[in-house]
Amino acid sequence: MVRFYPHEGNEKEFMKFWSSFLIAPAMIAFAIWIVIMIVAFALEAHGKFDNPTVIIFVLFQVMFTVFMSHALWISRAREQSKFNASFDVITKWITVVVTLLILSQFWPAAEGVIFARLICSFAFSIFLINWLSRQIKFSFAEIDLKETKRGMRYGIPMALSEISGVLLGLVDRLMIKHLMNDFSAVGIYSIGFGLASYFDQVITNAFSQAITPVVNRLYKTQGEAAVLAFKRKLMNFLFYISCGFICFLVIAGRDLLLTLAGADKEPAAEIFVIAAIFFSVMPVLKVASTGLLLGKRSDIHLIVILFAAVLNVGLNCFAIPTWGTIGALTSTCFSLTVMNVLLYSFCPKPMRCLPEVTAMSRAVLAGSVCFLIITGTGILVAQSHWARVLSTFALVSVLYGGAIFSTDSILRQTLRSLVHKKQ
């Protein structure tokens, strides 16, 4: 939807676009869902499900979840990231409240949780239908199946890429269980790696909702040079954030894990710190490689991710028996690095961009000085894990953030312009 969005189109072109890229795929998806529901009810009638209530609830929720995803991608294509962020936060907290209410007052079981999510998804879908009616216009008569097929040729490899990415992230846990025959090792690895992945999500999810539509619009309306200029504005800023996270994690990463997961999860601390440091750098690599999909080469994107997944499996066969969970972590991080390097190499040359050497040097130097001050002077006196986390975060923000802000005049000008624009 984002890649084919007609930024400079007229009203008729927009109606054709929404009809072909939203309504037609939605009808196809709904038809597939109907078939699956018929099969599910037939299986349930023959007693094939141990818990048919859960299965039916989940399948109904799938329909609403897919619909909400479509609606939110409409707002992303229209560069309405504020609406997306607000909707995401509000709906998550409403779901938490409704789930707790149903569990405590009506249905204290796993089915109650699923039912709460189902009714929330239904209510949110009704809200989005009302919102959509004010945002876009479509007509079944305006559906152009050729355009729909063109979008599907791009979208299906992207869907397979998402599935391959999930497998790439899960195969290490499956292989730990198979090669080590130790389920406790799977739990330790899952806790450390899973919590660490949020460092990637904090940056990537926040930026991707705004960056992806903007980069797509710049590419279609102004060309590769505009995309390169936009990426150059972002790269230094992202590298500063990544180095700040790394400085914080080196000092207080273990305390953060124990605060989040509890003192009994200390064996996962090493996995968490190493993985979190790696995931702090991932957003820089992702933005650097942005450009391949702008040319709609989702086929190459899929091949690269599949290669990374196969590489991860091959490395795990040697690394897990030799080094255990650390070997699995090393294999996964190496495979993800190879994947992003390949995506960068396939990115068209006019859009390739890395952080400036001066910015990288500034960030590394500021982070090193910050680390030495905090660890060498004994300024961090807090004893409890949560207090050390908060103290370290505050100290890194002041010492590291202050050093970056005071030495980068371009960053200061950019932040001031954003403040003035907001005012």
At 269-289, the pLDDT tens digits run 999 999 999 988 888 888 888
One-letter amino acid for residue 333 of the chain? C
How many CA atoms within 13 Å lie on the side-chain side of 20? 20
Distance CA 118, CA 61 (A): 5
Q: What b-and-e string marks burial along 72-106, b requiring 16 or more CB atoms within 10 Å of the CB?
A: bbbbbbbbbbebbeebeeebeeebeebbeebbeee
- What gap in Å lies between CA 206 and CA 185, rounded to an integer? 32
* pLDDT tens sequence across 153-199: 888 888 888 787 777 777 888 899 888 887 788 888 988 888 888 77
Please state, in angstroms and rounded to a whole number, the distance separating the CA atoms of residues 279 and 274: 9
Q: What is the mean pLDDT of the chain?
A: 86
Q: Is residue 329 within 8 Å of 172, Cβ to Cβ? A: yes
Tokens of 376: 């060498």
Q: Tokens for 284, please give them.
A: 């820089």
In this prediction, residue 422 has a pLDDT band, given cuts at 50, 70 and 90, of: low
| CA proximity to 267, closest of 210, 199, 193 | 193
Q: Are 273 and 249 in contact (CB under 8 A)?
A: yes
In the predicted model, is pLDDT for residue 384 greater than 90? no
Q: Is the pLDDT of residue 319 over 60?
A: yes
| Non-local CB neighbours of 195 within 8 Å, separated by 6+ positions | 257, 260, 261, 272, 276
Residue 248: which pLDDT band, with cuts at 50, 70 and 90? very high
Average pLDDT over residues 370-382: 87
Give the model's confidence band at 420: pLDDT under 50 very low, under 70 low, under 90 confident, else very high: low
Closest CA to 280 of 256, 310, 312: 256
What is residue 46's DSSP assignment? T
pTM, whole model, 2 decimals?
0.76
Q: Which two tokens stand for residue 185?
A: 């090792």
Rounded Cα distance between 304 and 310, Å, is 10
Quote the CA–CA distance of 176 and 333 in Å, as a whole number: 15
Q: Quote the pLDDT of residue 395.
A: 93
Burial group, residue 7, by CB count within 10 angstroms (0-12, 13-18, 19+): middle
pLDDT digits (tens, 9 = 90+) for 54-89: 888 888 888 888 888 888 888 877 877 778 778 888
Average pLDDT over every residue of 316-340 = 91
pLDDT at 366 over 70: yes
- In angstroms, the CA 199 to CA 187 distance is 20
